[in-house]
Structure 1
Amino acid sequence: MAAEGGKLAGIKVLDLSLFLPGPMLTVMMADHGAEVVKVEPPTGDPVREMEPFENGHSVWFANLNRGKKSVVCDLKSEAGKAKLWDFIADADVFVEAFRPGVMKRLGFDYQAVSLRNPRIIYCSISAFGQEGELAHHPAHDMAVQALAGFLSVNDSPDGAPVVPGVPSADMAGGLTGLSAILMALIGRERTGRGDYIDMAMFDAMLPWCVHTAGSAIAGGEAPQSGAQRSLGGAAFYQVYETSDGKHVVLGGREKKFARNLLSALGHEDRIEEALRPAGEQDDLIKLLRSIFAQKMRSEWVEWFADKDVAFSPVLDFREAFDQPHIQGRSLLSESENRHHIASPIRFAGTEKRNYGAVPKLGADG
Structure 2
Amino acid sequence: MGKLSGIRVVDLSQFLPGPMLSLMMADQGAEVIKVEPAAGDPARSQGPFADGHSIWFANLNRGKTSVVLDLKSEAGKAALTELIQRSDVFIEGFRPGVMARLGFDWEAVRALNPRIVYCSISAFGQQGTLAHHPAHDMAVQALAGVLCVNDGPDGTPAVPGVPAADVAAGLTGLAGILMALIGREQTGQGDYLDIAMFDSLLPWTAHIAGSALAGGPSPNSSNQRSLGGAAFYNVYETADGRHVVLGGREIKFARSLLTALGRPDLIALAEADAGPAQAPLIAFLRETFRTRSRDAWDGFMSELDVAYAPVLDFVEALAQPNVAERGLIRGHHIAPAIRFAGQAWAPGPVPELGGDRA
TM-score of the aligned structures, taking structure 2 as reference length: 0.99
Secondary structure at the aligned position of 2:118 is classed as: strand
Equivalent position of 1:204 in the other structure: 200
1:301 and 2:298 aligned: yes
Equivalent position of 2:356 in the other structure: 364
In 2, Cα distance between equivalents of 1:298 and 1:156: 24
1:171 to 167, 174, 177: 167
In 1, Cα distance between equivalents of 2:213 and 2:16: 29
Within a 5 Å distance, the mapping from 1:45-60 to structure 2 comes to: 45-60=41-56
Deviation string, structure 1 residues 157-183 (Cα, Å, up to 9, x no partner):
221111111100000000000000011
Deviation string, structure 1 residues 231-269 (Cα, Å, up to 9, x no partner):
000000000000000000000001111111111111111
2:346 to 317, 337, 354: 354
Deviation string, structure 1 residues 265-303 (Cα, Å, up to 9, x no partner):
111111110011110200000001111111101111111
In 2, Cα distance between equivalents of 1:306 and 1:346: 32
Give the aligned length. 356
Equivalent position of 1:81 in the other structure: 77
Equivalent position of 1:284 in the other structure: 281
**1:76 Cα deviation after fit:** 0.8
In 2, Cα distance between equivalents of 1:188 and 1:306: 53
Secondary structure at the aligned position of 1:13 is classed as: strand
How well do the aligned residues superpose, as a CA RMSD in angstroms? 0.7
In 1, Cα distance between equivalents of 2:32 and 2:79: 16
In 1, Cα distance between equivalents of 2:49 and 2:349: 15
Percent identity over the alignment? Answer: 66
In 2, Cα distance between equivalents of 1:305 and 1:231: 24
1:157 and 2:153 aligned: yes
Equivalent position of 2:244 in the other structure: 248
1:103 to 76, 99, 102: 99
Amino acid at match of 2:103: G
1:328 and 2:325 aligned: yes
In 2, Cα distance between equivalents of 1:108 and 1:172: 25
In 1, Cα distance between equivalents of 2:141 and 2:52: 33
Amino acid at match of 2:69: C
Equivalent position of 1:262 in the other structure: 258
Equivalent position of 1:310 in the other structure: 307
Which 5+ residue runs of structure 1 have no aligned equivalent? none
Q: Which runs of 4+ in 1 moved over 4 A?
A: none
1:44 and 2:37 aligned: no
Equivalent position of 1:14 in the other structure: 10
Amino acid at match of 2:347: Y
Deviation string, structure 1 residues 7-62 (Cα, Å, up to 9, x no partner):
00000000100000000000010001000000001111011111110111000000
Secondary structure at the aligned position of 2:252 is classed as: helix
Equivalent position of 2:188 in the other structure: 192
Within a 5 Å distance, the mapping from 1:102-141 to structure 2 comes to: 102-141=98-137
Equivalent position of 1:63 in the other structure: 59
Secondary structure at the aligned position of 2:207 is classed as: coil
In 2, Cα distance between equivalents of 1:155 and 1:110: 40
Secondary structure at the aligned position of 1:135 is classed as: coil
Which 5+ residue runs of structure 2 have no aligned equivalent? none
**1:348 Cα deviation after fit:** 1.4
In 2, Cα distance between equivalents of 1:239 and 1:228: 14
2:22 to 13, 26, 30: 26
Secondary structure at the aligned position of 2:9 is classed as: strand
Amino acid at match of 1:300: W
Amino acid at match of 1:263: T
**1:156 Cα deviation after fit:** 2.2
Secondary structure at the aligned position of 1:281 is classed as: helix
In 2, Cα distance between equivalents of 1:108 and 1:124: 11
Deviation string, structure 1 residues 304-331 (Cα, Å, up to 9, x no partner):
1221110100000111011111111110
In 2, Cα distance between equivalents of 1:115 and 1:76: 20
1:224 and 2:224 aligned: no
Deviation string, structure 1 residues 164-204 (Cα, Å, up to 9, x no partner):
11100000000000000011111111111000000000000
**1:356 Cα deviation after fit:** 0.7
In 1, Cα distance between equivalents of 2:186 and 2:231: 51
Secondary structure at the aligned position of 1:44 is classed as: coil
In 1, Cα distance between equivalents of 2:120 and 2:127: 12
1:182 and 2:178 aligned: yes
TM-score of the aligned structures, taking structure 1 as reference length: 0.97
1:344 and 2:337 aligned: yes
Deviation string, structure 1 residues 111-144 (Cα, Å, up to 9, x no partner):
0000110000000000000001000000000000
Amino acid at match of 1:57: H
**1:155 Cα deviation after fit:** 1.2
